[in-house]
Structure 1
Amino acid sequence: MDNTRWWRGAVIYQIYPRSYLDTDGDGVGDLPGILEKLEYVARLGVDAIWISPFFKSPMADFGYDIADYRAVDPLFGTLEDFDRLLAKAHGLGLRVMIDQVLSHTSIEHAWFTESRASRDNAKHDWYVWADPRPDGTPPNNWLSIFGGVAWRWEPRREQYFLHNFLASQPDLNFHNPAVREATLDNVKFWLERGVDGLRLDAINFCFHDAKLRDNPPKPAELRTGRGFSADNPYAYQYHWHNNTQPENLRFLEDLRALLDRYPGAAALGEISSEDSLATMAEYVGDQRLHMGYSFELLTDDSTASYIRATVETIEARMPHGWPCWAVSNHDVVRAVTRWGGGGPNPALARQLVALVCSLRGSVCLYQGEELGLTEADVPYEALQDPYGIAFWPNFKGRDGCRTPMPWTQDGGFSEQTPWLPIPEAHRAMSVVAQESDASSVLNAVRRFLGWRKDQPALRTGDIAFLDAPEPVLAFVRREAGQSLLVAFNLSERDVEWTLPASHAHAQLFDGAPVNDARIVDGRVVLLPRGVCYAAV
């Protein structure tokens, strides 16, 4: 593979550092904990790791509220710990991507401390400030994702500041060129240290409508989306003016120009807009981001028709761009629970990894997916997520997907009480328990990812879907003379599917580590949650 294009078809393993391994006994994971487990990560067969924020922060949003972009928070270790982690990862053949939260900072960032002090200081316009309406209310109707209005009053300036997320996460004013320059300089700091890529949090939120126009209302029947049920007023608007502004495209081009000075450095953008697939198509390309991902497969719809429509839409809109796919991350209910609905389901867990790793694009696997972890039911008194606390009991927040990794049947995460409880069900699914079981989800994932590395059709090939009835999802991947027909039974019952005449000659692919199917007289018989790889 071209060393500068390692990211195409790569499997990126997301590590949420608070919950990976605690080495200093404070109940919270840290950078030395990641360092200690890098051999485990390398054995999975992934290409890279993405580390969620470990920068200096008051932790109001657990690191996504950054107070110093260039400092490691003492909770996680030191800058020297990161350098050691980076060196060891590279020695094991792992690339390292880090989260960059560019659209907003912590309220404790030095930039904001100066900006809020007066209307005439050097950074007075580094954040989004606005005068109140004549009656003292906020300047417009914009809402925060985390509930309520997106404006907070600042008595020092007698103005409101914008926060698309928590009130302690003020939005930077990217219309100010000094802000853009300082932001790129912070990114350069980490590129100079040798990181291989960036995961860009909420990257379409950098710019706001300079005219501060009201967002229009959304009809009740359209108030859906990630975590935006009817009890969250955020769903009541079309968010046309508080994010995804055209000015952001030029900033992405400037960011790409910086990245291009560091051969092999890649950017993966998280995109959540009114039409996320259309925004991905705009944001990803030779002059902008290398990859983009949205929340289309992080929703509750797991039907074959929905998955096919999602992938075909992005293929049509972005034929030359490169998507990245995920079915779980630190913001949503774990996929085994979200799509399975019940308790542990090893067959579903194995299928989910195979499915997301068989689509055209790169892949993000979230820690614990390789174990088949379910969503944890965290009791109210143990909740940490401000989002969940605000919307409990209708929405319990994101703590259920963030509980610590179960390394042993005793937990093995920390010698002290962990910051979130480890469910008993997860202890039974620990790394130690699964490593000794050849049929475990963990070992199945290792075998599959190892095999996938040598399948050019799955890593970088094109994709063409085949007509199949629910619950069968089927497509063909082709690259470098290899053609693979891939089929998934997205149900808990046996399914029989008659192959199209053009592919009736398909034969099970010899050497595939998983083939829960048989092909007889042009018919594919798939076991419950079965996977089929066939040569065509």
Structure 2
Amino acid sequence: MNLTEQTTDWWKGGIIYQIYPRSFQDTTGSGTGDLAGIAQRLPYVASLGVDAVWISPFFTSPMRDFGYDVSDYCGIDPIFGTMEDFDWLIQSAHELGLKVMIDLVMSHTSDQHPWFKESRASRDNPKADWYVWADPKPDGTAPNNWLSIFGGSAWHWDARREQYYLHNFLTQQPDLNFHNPAVQDALIQMARFWLEKGVDGFRLDTINFYFHDAQLRDNPPLAPELRKSDTAPAVNPYNHQSHQFSKSQPENLAFLERFHQALVPYGAAVVGEIGDSERGLEILEEYTGVPGRVQMSYVFDFLSGDDLPAGRIVEVFDRLHEIAPNAWPCWAMSNHDVVRHVTRWNLPDQAAKAYATVLLCLRGSVCLYQGEELGLPEAELKFEDLRDPYGIEFWPEFKGRDGCRTPMVWDMGVNGGFSTSPPWLPVPHTHLQRTVVAQEADAQSMLHHYRWAIGLRRKHSALRGGTMTDIRAEGPVLSFRRRDDKQTLLIRANLSDDETGGLMPWQVQIIEG
């Protein structure tokens, strides 16, 4: 491949379509989606007009957290296919003009990873310091008060070493020790492996969790009025702490610069996931506002459970301009970790179309989640259908992430055309009314609206890379200007059920000049 001829700034204002491989297309009859299925459906993705796909993890894994617990960073899990399938996927995507970003989970591995098996074997082996180990307090309790996002202490006792190891997520997901340069080297080498395979960039999972406080200081408590549930559900005691020492450490900046340098020869781009309810925009500025770190990152402002009226959008952008004036955000309203936004915000189709148009007119890059373009609602699942350990732990107050991960619906065939066998999660009956085939035949469908809105962004250079000014809300009417050296656009959106400001309910008006 001729790396020098690649366009390196495609990401700026670009549109990235997230694919959750388990739920996109099954080609083997296993009930689980696979890489060959993704390759098979790429013409549909390309027809949307997006720039790239982000593929959630498909690496070898015991699947305790469905691929976000990696046991071999350079292997394909057999349930998803083979390396030959991946090569075909890359080739197919590039022939269709699509970039491919893959999901790197670098903050932690599976406890079945060979690195961890060696690390836990003794205190003096070559990888003894590759994970975060600590002695107990004199009374035998955990080294400090850090909590896991999945509930309970972030420390787990290991009888082999008679020490605790850190896990910010599941017990089976031990945290790597980024203070060890050898760990950084190994991860950068792993990234190069995939770049040589032809990937165009990475989505970096939990990018602000890489480093921990080397002194293992206790996190301070957080006052009840300051607790937010953007990163963890409200019922999770994780929200009771200010996570000053367990994540978002300053040492991460130097690593991101090292990682960036490794990507430069390949022209690769990175989108980071920033999970921090307190300092999200500050971290966004630190990571993306300084050249040579990360091109773009997303925070959880539009992924939270809060409604998104015009005034709140203005508030987010006011804070962005104040706290992160140089940052490049990547906006998303749905993904594989949150309740689908049409359910979260109780949006009828007309409203969902308005929000899609607004999203695709914002300054920054955009992530769309599979099925979002069909207007799929969150699936209502029974407890016995759950697969997500997060939902099982906090049911019923928090039902987990399975409801947004159910299979894609392509047609009215068996299981919505996803699989000929019972799928790993059930296909909701409500989704079968919104299949791709049905919406292709309806000129007024959500699918055609998304194609139109994506085309609008691609048509107008000001929407991809221009400035965004004059952001205001007059009641439910949001307005802002997008401007570059070629054009100026005024966007006005009535985000309500009532006619107001000269706009019909849920009307979005785009005026040139």
**Is the pair's TM-score, using the shorter chain for normalization, greater than 0.5?**
yes
Q: Tell me which moved more, 214-223 or 202-211.
A: 214-223
Q: 2:230 aligns with which of 220, 226, 230?
A: 226
> Is residue 435 of structure 2 the alignment partner of residue 402 of structure 1?
no
Equivalent pair of 1:340/1:348 in contact (CA under 8 Å): no
- Report SS of the residue matched to 2:294: coil
Structure 1 segment 69-468 matched on structure 2, within 5 A: 69-226=73-230, 228-263=232-267, 265-273=268-276, 274-284=278-288, 285-299=290-304, 300-340=306-346, 345-410=348-413, 411-468=416-473
Counterpart in the other structure of 1:528: 505
Superposition deviation, residue 301 in structure 1: 3.0
Aligned amino acid, residue 478 of structure 2: L
> Partners of 1:229 and 1:453 in 2: how far apart?
36
Instruction: Decide whether the 8 Å contact of 2:360 with 2:453 is kept in 1.
Output: no
In 1, distance between residues paired with 2:449 and 2:465?
22
- Correspondence for 2:37: 33
Note the C-alpha offset of 1:261.
1.6
Partner of 2:80, secondary structure, is: coil
Q: Is the 8 A contact 2:314 2:472 kept in 1?
A: no
Query: Any idea what SS the aligned residue of 1:141 has?
Result: coil
> Could you say what secondary structure the match of 1:37 adopts?
helix
Q: Is the 8 A contact 1:308 1:465 kept in 2?
A: no
Deviation of 1:339 after TM superposition, in Å, equals: 1.3
**Deviation of 1:227 (Å):** 5.8
Aligned-pair identity (%)? 57
1:130-162 per-residue CA deviation (whole Å, 9 max, x = no partner) reads: 001111110000000010000011000000000
C-alpha distance in structure 1 between counterparts of 2:492 and 2:62, whole Å: 47
**Superposed displacement of residue 237, structure 1:** 0.3
Q: Distance in 1 between matches of 2:391 and 2:244?
A: 26
485-494 or 188-197: which moved more?
485-494
Q: What is the distance in 2 between the residues matched to 1:218 and 1:197?
A: 36
CA drift of 1:322 comes to 1.6
* Conservation of the 8 A alpha-carbon contact between 1:227 and 1:395: no
Offset at residue 535 of structure 1 (A): 1.6
Tell me the amino acid that sits aligned with residue 33 of structure 1.
G
Match of 2:496 in 1: 491
Stretch of structure 1 that moved more, 440-449 or 379-388: 440-449
Give the Cα–Cα distance (whole angstroms) in 1 for the partners of residues 396 and 281 of structure 2.
31
* Residues 93-139 of structure 1, C-alpha deviations (whole Å, 9 max, x = no match): 00000000111000100000000111111100100000011111100
Task: Report if the CA contact (8 A) 2:147-2:154 is conserved.
Answer: yes
Moved more, 222-231 or 367-376: 222-231
Letter in 2 for 1:94: L
Contact kept in structure 1, 2:391 and 2:399, CA below 8 Å:
yes
Q: Distance in 2 between matches of 1:105 and 1:50?
A: 20
Q: Distance in 1 between matches of 2:265 and 2:443?
A: 45
Letter in 2 for 1:353: A
CA contact (8 A) 2:386 2:392 kept: yes
Q: Which deviations, in whole Å up to 9, do the C-alpha atoms of 1:369-422 show, x marking residues without a partner?
A: 110111111111101110000000000001111111011123110001111111
Please say which of residues 448-457 and 116-125 is displaced more in the overlay. 448-457
Residues 229/444 of structure 1: CA separation in 2 closer, same or farther (3 Å cut): closer
Shift in Å, 1:176: 0.4
Amino acid at match of 1:365: L
CA separation in 2, counterparts of 1:272 and 1:312?
Answer: 20
- Cα pair 1:11 1:363 within 8 Å, conserved: yes
Alpha-carbon distance between aligned partners in 2 of 1:230 and 1:105, rounded to the nearest angstrom = 26
For 1:77 and 1:340, locate their aligned partners in 2 and report how far apart those are by CA, in whole Å: 37
Q: Which moved further from structure 2: 33-42 or 282-291?
A: 282-291
Give the secondary structure class of the aligned counterpart of 1:378: coil
What is the match of residue 519 of structure 1? none
- Equivalent pairs counted in the alignment come to 504
Separation of aligned partners in 1, 2:234 and 2:400: 15
TM-aligned CA distance change 1:316 to 1:174, over 3 Å: same
Aligned residues of 1:106 and 1:168 also touching (Cα < 8 A)? yes
AA partner of residue 321 (structure 2): E
How far has the Cα of 1:232 moved from its partner? 0.8
The Cα offsets for residues 62-121 of structure 1, whole Å up to 9 and x where unpaired, read as 101000000010010111111110011000000000000111000100000000111111
Structure 1 residue 303, shift from structure 2 partner: 1.9
User: Partner residue of 1:504?
Assistant: none
Residue 261 of structure 1: SS of its match in structure 2? helix
Cα deviation digits, residues 199-240 of structure 1 (max 9, x gap): 000011000000000000111222222263442110110001
Inter-partner Cα distance in structure 1 for 2:505 and 2:32 = 39
Amino acid at match of 2:397: N
Q: Post-superposition shift, 1:267?
A: 0.7
- One-letter amino acid matched to 1:111: W
Residues 443-479 of structure 1 deviation map (CA, whole Å, 9 limit, x = unaligned): 1111221232110111111001343322111100001
CA contact (8 A) 2:133 2:164 kept: yes
TM-score, with normalisation over the residues of structure 1? 0.92
Question: Whole-Å Cα distance in 2 between the matches of residues 118 and 399 of structure 1?
Answer: 38
- Structure 1 contact 56–72 (Cα < 8 Å) conserved: yes
Amino acid at match of 2:75: A
What amino acid is aligned across from residue 450 of structure 1 in structure 2? G
Say which of 4, 9, 12 aligns to 2:8. 4
Distance of 1:163 and 1:336 partners within structure 2: 33
Q: Which amino acid aligns with 1:434?
A: Q
Aligned partner letter, 1:333: V
The 1:42–1:230 alpha-carbon spacing in structure 2 relative to 1, beyond 3 Å, is closer
SS at match of 2:257: helix
- Are the counterparts in 2 of residues 45 and 450 from structure 1 also a CA contact under 8 Å? yes
Q: Measure how far apart 1:2 and its partner are.
A: 8.7
Q: 2:387, 2:296 → 1: CA distance?
A: 31
Give 3-state SS (helix, strand or coil) of 1:467's partner. strand
Determine the C-alpha separation between the residues in 2 that align with 1:259 and 1:137: 42
Alpha carbons of 1:2 and 1:338: their partners in 2 closer, same or farther (altered >3 Å)? same
Decide whether the 8 Å contact of 1:351 with 1:529 is kept in 2.
yes
Change in 2 beyond 3 A, CA 1:22/1:271: same
Corresponding residue for 2:61? 57
